[in-house]
Amino acid sequence: MDGVPPVPTDPDRHPVADADPDVHAELDPDTVFVLSRPHGTVVARGVAAGFSDVGAAQAALADGSASAVVGALPFDTADAPTLIAPESVAVTDTPLPGITPTPHGIVTESTHPSPDEHRRRVAEVVERIRRGDAEKVVLARSVDVRVTPRVEIGELLGALAGGNPEHNAFAVDLDRDGSRWLLGASPELLVRKRGREVTCHPYAGTAARGADSASDDAAAAALTASTKDRVEHAHVVDHLRDRLARWCTDVEAPTEPQLTATGELWHLATPIRATVRDEATTVLDLALDLGPTPAVGGTPRDAAVDIIAETEEPRRFYAGAVGWCDANGDGEWMVAIRCVEVAADREQLRMWAGGGLVAASDPDAELAETTAKLRTVRSALGITDV
């Protein structure tokens, strides 16, 4: 858990809050956004306005023409976001309960790049890091699958929520018409704001969970002791501290990362708290400035992002952010990882996974890390062949 207080349902702080959302295996056809977190669930319905420009969404919040904005920010800030002013937003203090996945079979599967090419790219980028081009670069790969039976959006959302201890899950209607969806189970809080209190909870440094208690404990101990992973994690914490200092006072973070478990993985994580100087600053403002963090991009940020653009296929919304902001500027944005884009036919899917590279990174280990991270979505689809 991120240790922050629950999302308030006080109408004085959240005037858009309605009655408890009713989310089932088949989503209400008006639903455009769902975010499940351990402290509550946000469900947005209807499209009062759509924005493909962040500035327009920020202006709508500022002038009161939008009582909330929900949606997804792309990894590449030059790309258009998917942002929606919904007709209604419901906020509760309980997460989605989670459901048992429906087994899906794979009809076709292709990886981008191939495993061998990913290893080659990792080795090439590690050499660039050793030459001093960057200190850390996150390199990702994607997997396209066609599945049967067709995916039900609400069902997959529930399976994602049930696949991790905190019931993290999200769903965003990318085209604002119910066709393409981005779903995921990100454990990583980019930023949350309530009043003047700001919280971040970065994750960086990863190890696959063991099959039994002994191997699981060994994996956790190895991650905690890993110099490579601790260096990788420190880059993320330092970035967030520096960026938050532009907006906030009293930026506080523990000197040692915490060991945190999701369904398939161990992570190093650090809770960060701060106090925003100007209460008019919105959580959307903060999300735009903080991301992409070194957890998904690298450090220095501009150099790492340039290397990613030279090396990878376009990420689209993977490693961007998913979240919401209300009229008070409060809300929450998650880093868009452990995610899948579902095409309009509900059969074609694309999922992504990445890993942070530093000078000590090993290509085989990095490939194995992405494979482990892909299990979050594959398990939610009832696919157990990886």
The active-site residue out of 135, 166, 188, 369 is 188
Asked whether the bond before 6 is cis by omega within 30 degrees of 0, the reply is no
60, 130, 220, 345 from 236: Cα distances, Å: 31, 19, 20, 38
Please name which of 113, 119, 16, 95 lies closest in space to residue 327, comparing C-alpha atoms.
Answer: 16
Q: Tell me how far apart the alpha carbons of residues 13 and 166 are, in angstroms, rounded to a whole number.
A: 25
Residue 188 is among the residues annotated as catalytic for this protein: yes
Please check whether residue 298 is in contact with residue 308, taking contact to mean a CB–CB distance below 8 angstroms: yes
Tokens of 197: 């209190």
Q: Tell me how far apart the alpha carbons of residues 151 and 384 are, in angstroms, rounded to a whole number.
A: 16
Q: Tell me how far apart the alpha carbons of residues 234 and 241 are, in angstroms, rounded to a whole number.
A: 11
Residue 193 is among the residues annotated as catalytic for this protein: no
The active-site residue out of 136, 155, 193, 366 is 136
Output phi, psi for 118, to 5 deg: -65, -45
State the helix-helix crossing angle for 301-311 and 115-131, rounded to 10 degrees.
Answer: 150
> What residues act catalytically?
136, 188
